[in-house]
Amino acid sequence: MTAQQDLLRRYEGSLLGVFGTPPLVLTHGDGCYVWDADGRRYLDLLGGIAVNVLGHGHPALVAAVSKQAAEAIHVSNLFTSRPQIELAEQLLRIADAPDGSRVFFANSGAEAIEAAIKLARRTGRPGIVAAEGAFHGRTTGALALTHKPAYRAPFEPLMPGVSHVPYGDVDALASQVTSETGAVVLEPVQGEAGVIVPDPAYLRAAREITTAAGALLILDEIQTGMGRTGRWFAHQHTDVVPDAITVAKGLGGGVPVGALVTFGDQVSQLLQPGQHGSTFGGNPLAAAAGLAVIQTIEEQGLLANAEHLGRLLAERVRDEAPDGVTGVRGMGLLQAITLAEPIAPAVAVAARDAGFIVNPVAPQALRLAPPLILSTTQLDQFLDALPGILQEATS
């Protein structure tokens, strides 16, 4: 029995089985690479599901967290800290948030969505409209917005007042938003659904529909934010100004942190003192990590790198069209390679055997969400290997 097999046996014997048994025990990483417990190296093209935007062991993130850990890890929200204040200021800046905007810090994306739900409820309107295919988290409130039946059914009845409409369908959205709608919650790109990119006109229409109805437009940027699509936030590819966005995943570069950013004074006043809270949200350690992430993305030009590599990936897949691949869709370094047959799980296993970590996000789609520090050479290594991986998966 290898070290990895022994650890996985112990995993099965000690952890609640909600994730199934993972295929690997990872011990450490360096840049875009990770190593398993048997010493095998993999090119990490998933980045902890779009979390590790700076890769693994980035010196700036390690230094910031180490320094902060030696000073103060936690002070509660009975007090505040310089990193928390500075991260809020930086988030408002990169979000292009207008005067009067504010930030609430949580521990995760799901918690950011819970805060957004409370924000919507404070409009006095009980309804929330979300999209089919949406994934907003697994806490019970966020689960009510999430669409996948397999996630929802075991826990129904869920929070009332939520309806789902086909993603990208302007008419369907318009028909569902009424004077009883507090908010429309949408992902600018649906990640869990298979990296679905709507027409830019869809978000603009959503803005117009919600404004006309007096409802909030809340954009879930948990997966698409922090440079993932080549802009700080995916909605910035359009001229749409939302009422609020939720942020997490890449924000801490691996340190758990989430945030709700409210746009403008009127929306920011909806939640009053005592109406929400979080013991750990925005603690100094997580905030220091977030500050290091933002500073490093800017210093190393990682927004441009994400946009550049996303374009290269799309061009190579389309130009070379490996057998079994039907195309590619996505933005920046959030991409899905689409397959002719529902063999994505087998392809992911073959890719792992070849030293690459990818995600079979749908039966016919492989999701790539690598660190934003990925190099052209590393991307080419995967694309060069892809035909052989596909052949292995179907042999």
Strand partners, 131: 165
Residue 297 annotated as binding site: no
Rounded-to-integer distance, Cα 139 and Cα 141, Å: 6
> pLDDT at position 395, please?
87
Closest CA to 338 of 355, 326, 353, 322: 326
Q: Is 222 annotated as a binding residue?
A: yes
Q: What is the pLDDT of residue 249?
A: 98
Tokens 């409409």, residue? Answer: 165
The CA distance from 306 to 10, in Å, is 38
Q: Which string of DSSP letters, residue by residue, matches 320-373?
A: H--TTEEEEEEETTEEEEEESSS-HHHHHHHHHHTTEE-EEEETTEEEE---TT
DSSP secondary structure letter of residue 4: H
Residue 132 annotated as binding site: no
What are the residue ranges in the chain where pLDDT is below 70? none
What pLDDT is stored for residue 144 in this prediction? Answer: 98
Neighbours of 300 (CB within 10 A): 15
- Enumerate domains of the chain plus CATH numbers: 3-57+303-393 (3.90.1150.10), 72-300 (3.40.640.10)
Q: How far apart are the first and last CA of the chain?
A: 28
Q: Which pair of structure tokens corresponds to residue 331?
A: 């933005």
DSSP 96-145: TPPTT-EEEEESSHHHHHHHHHHHHHTTT--EEEEETT----SSHHHHHH
Tell me: is residue 223 an annotated ligand-binding position.
yes
CB atoms within 10 A of CB 92: 18
179 among annotated binding-site residues: no
- Residue 1 has a pLDDT of 92
Show which residues are catalytic: 135, 220, 249
Do the annotations mark residue 19 as ligand-binding?
no
392 in helix, strand or coil? helix
Residue 271 DSSP SS3: coil
As given in the structure block, the two tokens for residue 222 are 């948990």
Taking residue 334's Cβ as centre, other Cβ atoms within 10 Å add up to: 24
> Any idea what DSSP says for residue 308?
H
Give the alpha-carbon dihedral of 187, 240, 206, 219, to 10 degrees: 30
